[in-house]
Structure 1
Amino acid sequence: MEQVQCMIDWIEDHLKDRFSLDELSDYMGYSPYYCSFKFHQVTGVSIKRYILLRRLYLSTEDLSKNKRIIDVAFTYGYSSQEAYSRAFKRVFGINPGQYQMKKVPVQSIVKLTTYKNGAGSTMNVSRKIEVNKVKNERSDLFDKNILHIMNGQLMYDEFKTNKLLGDADYAPFNEAMCVNKTTEEIFNHTFIRTRADGHNESEESYMDKVIVPLHDLFNKEYTCIVLWFGEDMFCQMNVLTVLSYLEQTKYKGKVFLNSFREDEFKVNQTELTLGHYHLTYKETMIHHVLPSNELMPIMYQAIKIYLDMLKAENEVVKYIRKNKDLPTKQLIQTLFHLFPTIGYGDSQYIELMNKIK
């Protein structure tokens, strides 16, 4: 672990330089093959892929400052604006010019660390400060006739206990749409039966956990719906499901997405336009193909991860297979740490581990 962290630190210090595996190996005192092998073994990603993703993510900060695209391309080691734009679109689903114009959220691709610093989870007080900041900027989204939907019971309980949402209604979406089969129609009886079977629970239990808490969504009319979901794949597939349902019901009000990283509660608020999410849902979650419509980068990235995770030998499976002798708790914590953009919980990782072990 310490060796790989040294490699990561060196790579981060040279992200804007031309990368040389030989220079890295000289610095580490190991062969190029050993450095490459060890990096992938510990992190689950190749050095080349890590550098690509980090450079592209850091470049979004320069684009947000309205720097010229060609200058950003050269800054991050691309030989031309065209080469940079192709790489950018493959990862984020839109080109740099579109990103610069729309300022839409992307998944955070932060520096890897191979150890935990013991800081623990985000304190409630920091979330309260951030929510109050959002409230001060858009107080109209915290009034009556507004419904806030949160990704999961824990977030719902936290918001409710701290009375963070003013006079608005709020509800949890207690699902994991990134696993198991689903149906084209959402929240009907076939959907409930299919999802309950996938989770190995009774329809009654599924109703109590998922459907009953969404009572207000089904029975009240709202002028606006605000979605509070993380930027990882787990959360974004839940977002896609809710948006698809709103299109099915021909919802006419406004929709906002408040997205955030789970380990750093900084909210990015984006107003969404309904019209193509049900098609995207069907393409992605029923037919398992990339969507035909342009999407926010954050959702496009999540869909690519979702489709990769459907493969029998995805990166997470490979990592578990290589490290299956680790104690279950330690392996799960390592997976949380190394694959934050996936967003799986304990149960999803345990299911994968049981299949492999």
Structure 2
Amino acid sequence: MAVKLFEPLALRGIALQNRIVVAPMTQFSADEGVAGDWHLMHLGQFAVSGAALIMTESTYVEPNARNNPRSLALYTEEQAAALGRIANFIHSHGIASFGVQLCHGGRKASSKPHWVGGGPLLAEEGGYPAVAPSPIPIKVGWPTPREMTMRDIAEAVGMFASATRRAVAVGADLIEIHGAHGYLIHQFLSPITNRRGDHYGGTRENRMRFATEVFEAVRAIWPADKPIGIRVSATDWIQGGWTTEDTVALAQRMEDLGCDYIHVSSGGLAPQQKIETGPGYQVGFAAAVKAAVKMPVVAVGQITSPQQAESILRTGQADLIALARTMLFNPRWPWLAAHELGAVAHYPPQYERADPRRLATSAISNPGNEPATGDQAA
């Protein structure tokens, strides 16, 4: 029986070689939004491990949209050139497609990294003002964001479009719109953070308007043969908030607009959330969405073992598996998965001697036709 995790999948004009996605992982290590050596190392290690799709971390569309001054961004040519360097490395040294996740922080802008305790980055510390659908602070002690005007909303949509143009120049294969985890699009979607009285607030259809406008603006610019997906929080985990039913409605709407996949996460909107975690705790949300749409669905959240990932795919709960902390712990997870499931992984030629199938034989490839030295044979 073929191993589902290592079956290819087509998304418009790109062919993913397997179903393993390296999920976005914020690093707080950019210099004014410019990716550096850390990002090349961080994403490059996954490129040589045989994953099919590697996503950037949240990549912000304008300065005051950034979660933190050291967040990755794509609103200058310098930022684009730095991401292009990473795209070139990934395309040169692996089988992975390279995706850019575009994001606007909304009221979560100007915050501190989690490793220094999180919280707001105040003006005297180098912070900047945040905007949001409604003037509701994250919690006591956070600044109240400025409510966005119609002009602000139109400008934000335009910022996503401008970043998309730069992503074309970068050589990215895929765009993912970040509509999850309490960032601006999610803030518009949820009635917890959207109390507007205009046509961007109130009904679910109105609250979805900003998300659909962003998608349409990105799709209009992004090449027709390249895919666009969206990441969503399936539930706020808060009574009276955004629900799985709402997510299904959004997924169907996005599919109608030409969305190519949906990446199903959850939570992140507000501290009132009561998340019930555990192995694969978000997979049920992915399954609910998959039952309602035809486009591929990405499952994510405490998926750790190859057998668990394979089971999710075989039972039809999702089409792709996204990994984050699991890949941090073991960047060679795709090799491990192939070995345990009896599939074939991709090894770059410099590393192919690590393939257990080769280690099991006494013959070692020696393309130079020279006697193998001790280190060559190791």
Larger strand proportion of the pair: 2
State TM-score, norm by structure 1. 0.29
Q: Which structure has greater helix proportion?
A: 1
Name the TM-score, length of structure 2 as normaliser. Answer: 0.28
